[in-house]
């Protein structure tokens, strides 16, 4: 089917409504090193230019991840490659100085319920608005000028919990002190929604809410579906309800294997799942027929296959997954994580060509 | 012995207080610390590993079980040391050079300790030379390499190459991490690949010849 060209905003809204689109919506993420490699290989411009070339349909207006000590960044030690930093969450982590990668978490300032109740909870509640209304309005103008679908972006309670108190304390507390977990998740969610309200009161208008929260790894969710339902899901539903009450659609981001909680996501009001990590066994070809009428699929193009730079393998990946996703009219392009530096600029330009060829209705 | 069975169940359920109490009662009853470890605690963690592999329990339950065992070991390890008893097998673990990620490594480390391996944690961003030096120093039976990033998979390959070239007797190499597959393990010559913390115990036991 060939239709008139649509704006990104129309395209994404029609994807959510499972209505015909001219082509699938598009977006992607890249490592810093990937863009640097591509610049060496002939890319003129930067990340934003790649997104324009891809034809990205999405525009973020803000990034909400409330912390107790905004702006704090104390370098405790450094070597030639890394630096150890006490950060705005009160934790200490070792980061790469000049490359991408997950940091090594050395300690967490908020390591007990007492620390939460006496220091961190009051600090988080005392911090004024952590979002920049002027910057959000500017991003909104830019997004509208490009016809893009605009969205608020915020981190959800589970990710915030892990960042604040660390994986081990967090996961043990889910069993031994669930009330503490509920409280952190609730306080975080309160602040995020209050921040979004302030943006809207300041004149920001968003088409949707994109919620970030990694709650799984390669083989399963970090906690059981029942524990997720009990401790975190109510906050997820609250965020989705908040967005729906303001006419916004909801995208949920998580890495990892989340097959067993897809029904809970749908029940929470999540309408789109992103990025659907292939190496965690997630496959749009399996999920689209099962869940595609209720949950749009956004991504799943395997970065490991991209990294082979074998165009035959990559084309097959894109062709088959697009076919499955597009059959529901509820599919958008994104890599299944973020494009790594093994992918050459020539390969990514070919990928854009495949996205165009197979992603047109 | 019913108390040993109770201890196994307490560890498997992550009941820290019960685990400590039962350990003390078994010691008071005259049971050897090594017997308590091998026939009370380790089987409890084996149950945890099996349930984890089957997704019957998840990381939180695994962590509370490991913590329960750790509390019992705090009581038992000084007694074992006095008697000159050490775990039969030693495992090294680290995240490969270029990678700072440590969650997976820490979980495997915990589960290996639960299977009564002596575990030496080398930390993150570990160079091939550091792995080799530690493997020699500790006479490691298992060397575990973890990687989160696709970009650090070559470092894993290089570490395996250097460790293999040293031709150390009785040392096996295991790898794991988000981008790692059995095919990659085969390609770079690793002896084993573990997809999760439960499987990591099975593979390690098999590689050292301790599998049931």
Q: Quick one: pLDDT at residue A3?
A: 53
Domain count, chain B: 2
- Whether A47 and A192 share a structural domain: yes
- Whether A100 and A38 share a structural domain: no
- Whether A95 and A132 share a structural domain: no
Q: How many interface pairs between A and B have CB atoms less than 8 angstroms apart?
A: 83
Residue A1 covered by a domain: no
CA B140, CA B120: separation in Å to the nearest integer? 9
Q: Quick one: pLDDT at residue B211?
A: 67
Whole-model pTM: value is 0.93
Does an H or E element contain B203, and which? helix B197-208
The CATH number that applies at residue A205 is: 3.20.20.210
- Whether B38 and B8 share a structural domain: yes
In this complex, the residue of A104, A168, A260 whose CB is nearest that of residue B63 is A168
Tens of pLDDT along chain B (212 residues) come to 699 999 999 999 999 999 999 999 999 999 999 999 999 999 999 999 999 999 999 999 999 999 999 999 999 999 999 999 999 999 999 999 988 888 889 999 999 999 999 999 999 999 999 999 999 999 999 999 999 888 889 999 999 999 999 999 899 999 999 889 999 999 999 999 998 888 999 999 999 998 65
> For A308, which residue in chain B has the nearest alpha carbon?
B150
Residue A271: pLDDT band with limits 50, 70, 90 = very high
In this complex, the residue of A81, A82, A218 whose CB is nearest that of residue B178 is A218
Helices (H), A151-216: 157-165, 167-176, 178-201
List CB contacts (< 8 A) between A304 and chain B.
Answer: 150, 179
Look at A104 and B102 and tell me if their CB atoms are within 8 Å: yes
- Whether A32 and A128 share a structural domain: yes
Decide if pLDDT at A4 tops 80: no
Domain count, chain A: 2
**Which of B51, B82, B113 corresponds to the end of one domain?**
B82
The CATH number that applies at residue B175 is: 3.40.50.280
List CB contacts (< 8 A) between A222 and chain B.
Answer: 58-60
CA A270, CA B128: separation in Å to the nearest integer? 45
Going by C-alpha positions, the residue among B95, B69, B87, B106 that lies closest to residue B180 is B95
In this prediction the ipTM stands at: 0.92
Q: Quick one: pLDDT at residue B82?
A: 94
- Whether A74 and A216 share a structural domain: no
Residue A119 covered by a domain: yes
Chain A nearest CA to B192, separation (Å): 18
List CB contacts (< 8 A) between A94 and chain B.
Answer: 100, 124
- Whether B48 and B21 share a structural domain: yes
Chain A nearest CA to B112, separation (Å): 17
- Whether A51 and A192 share a structural domain: yes
- Whether A168 and A83 share a structural domain: no
Model confidence pLDDT, tens digit, residues A316-359: 999 999 999 999 999 999 999 999 999 999 999 999 999 999 99
- Whether A131 and A102 share a structural domain: no
- Whether A63 and A82 share a structural domain: no
- Whether A64 and A76 share a structural domain: no
Q: Across chain A, what does the average pLDDT equal? A: 96
Q: DSSP labels for A219-282?
A: SSBSS-HHHHHHHTHHHHHHHHHHHHHTT-EEEEEE-S--GGGHHHHHHHT--EEEE--GGGT-
In this complex, the residue of B14, B58, B124 whose CB is nearest that of residue A222 is B58
Residue A165 covered by a domain: yes
Chain B nearest CA to A236, separation (Å): 20
Which domain covers residue B10, as residue numbers?
A: 2-82
Q: Quick one: pLDDT at residue A219?
A: 87
- Whether A116 and A199 share a structural domain: yes
Q: Quick one: pLDDT at residue B193?
A: 96
**What are the residues of chain B with a beta carbon less than 8 Å away from any beta carbon of chain A?**
14, 55, 57-61, 63-64, 67, 95, 98-104, 106, 123-125, 148-151, 178-179, 195-196
**Which of B82, B105, B127 corresponds to the end of one domain?**
B82
Chain A nearest CA to B169, separation (Å): 32
Q: Quick one: pLDDT at residue B100?
A: 87
Distance, CA of A61 to chain centre: 14
Mutate to test the interface with A, among B103, B124, B149 (most CBs of A within 10 A): B103
Decide if pLDDT at A217 tops 80: yes
Look at B150 and A172 and tell me if their CB atoms are within 8 Å: no
A339 φ, ψ (degrees, to nearest 5) = -70, 120
- Whether B78 and B95 share a structural domain: no
Residue A192 covered by a domain: yes
In this complex, the residue of A95, A174, A217 whose CB is nearest that of residue B60 is A174
- Whether A209 and A142 share a structural domain: yes
- Whether B193 and B94 share a structural domain: yes
Contacts of B185 (CB under 8 A, 6+ apart): B175, B192, B193
Which domain covers residue A351, as residue numbers?
A: 8-68+110-358
**Which of A79, A109, A139 corresponds to the end of one domain?**
A109
- Whether B188 and B103 share a structural domain: yes
A100 or B199: which carries more pLDDT confidence?
B199
Cβ count within 10 A of residue B86: 11
**Which of B82, B113, B136 corresponds to the end of one domain?**
B82
């Amino acid at each position: 089917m060939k239709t008139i060209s649509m704006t990104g905003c129309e395209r994404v809204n029609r994807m959510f409504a499972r209505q015909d689109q001219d082509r699938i919506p598009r977006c992607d993420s890249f490592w810093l090193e990937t863009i640097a490699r591509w610049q060496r290989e002939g890319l003129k411009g930067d990340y934003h230019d790649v997104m324009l070339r891809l034809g990205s349909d999405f525009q973020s207006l803000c990034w909400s991840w409330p912390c107790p000590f905004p702006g704090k960044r104390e370098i405790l030690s450094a070597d030639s490659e890394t630096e150890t930093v006490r950060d705005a969450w009160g934790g200490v982590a070792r980061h790469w100085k000049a490359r991408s990668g997950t940091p090594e978490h050395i300690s967490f300032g908020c390591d007990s319920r007492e620390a939460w109740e006496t220091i961190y909870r009051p600090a988080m509640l005392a911090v004024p608005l952590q979002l920049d209304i002027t910057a959000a309005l500017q991003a909104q103008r830019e997004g509208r000028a490009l016809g893009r679908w605009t969205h608020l972006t915020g981190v959800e309670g589970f990710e915030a919990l892990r960042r604040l108190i660390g994986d081990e304390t967090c996961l043990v507390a889910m069993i031994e002190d669930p009330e503490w977990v509920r409280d952190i998740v609730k306080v975080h969610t309160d602040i995020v929604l209050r921040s979004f309200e302030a943006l809207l009161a300041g004149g920001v208008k968003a088409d949707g809410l994109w919620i970030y929260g990694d709650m799984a790894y390669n083989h399963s969710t970090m906690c059981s579906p029942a524990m997720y339902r009990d401790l975190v899901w109510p906050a997820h539903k609250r965020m989705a309800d908040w967005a729906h009450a303001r006419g916004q659609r909801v995208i949920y981001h998580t890495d990892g294997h989340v097959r067993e909680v897809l029904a809970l996501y749908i029940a929470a009001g999540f309408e789109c799942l992103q990025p659907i990590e292939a190496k965690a066994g997630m496959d749009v070809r399996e999920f689209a027929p099962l869940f595609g009428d209720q949950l749009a699929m956004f991504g799943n193009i395997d970065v490991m296959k991209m990294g082979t730079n074998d165009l035959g393998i990559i084309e097959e990946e894109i062709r088959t997954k697009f076919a499955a996703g597009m059959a529901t009219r509820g599919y958008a392009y994104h890599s299944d994580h973020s494009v790594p530096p093994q992918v050459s600029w020539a390969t990514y330009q070919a990928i854009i060509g495949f996205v165009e060829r197979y992603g047109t209705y | 012995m019913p108390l040993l069975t109770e201890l196994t169940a307490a560890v498997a359920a992550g009941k820290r207080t019960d685990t400590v109490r039962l350990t003390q009662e078994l010691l008071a009853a005259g049971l050897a610390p090594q017997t308590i470890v091998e026939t009370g605690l380790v089987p409890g963690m084996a149950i945890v590993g099996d349930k984890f592999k089957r997704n019957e329990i998840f990381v939180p339950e695994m962590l509370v079980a490991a913590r329960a065992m750790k509390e019992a070991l705090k009581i038992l390890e000084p007694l074992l040391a006095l008697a000159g008893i050490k775990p039969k097998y030693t495992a090294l673990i680290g995240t490969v050079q270029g990678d700072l990620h440590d969650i997976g490594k820490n979980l495997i480390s915990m589960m290996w300790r639960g299977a009564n391996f002596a575990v030496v944690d080398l930390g993150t961003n570990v160079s091939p030379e550091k792995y080799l030096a530690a493997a020699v120093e500790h006479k490691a039976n298992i060397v575990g390499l973890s990687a989160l990033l696709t970009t650090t998979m070559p470092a894993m390959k290089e570490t395996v190459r250097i460790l293999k070239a040293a031709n150390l007797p009785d040392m096996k190499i295991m790898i794991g991490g988000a981008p790692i597959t059995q095919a990659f393990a085969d390609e770079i010559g690793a002896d084993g690949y573990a997809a999760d913390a439960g499987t990591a115990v099975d593979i390690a036991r098999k590689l050292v010849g301790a599998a049931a």
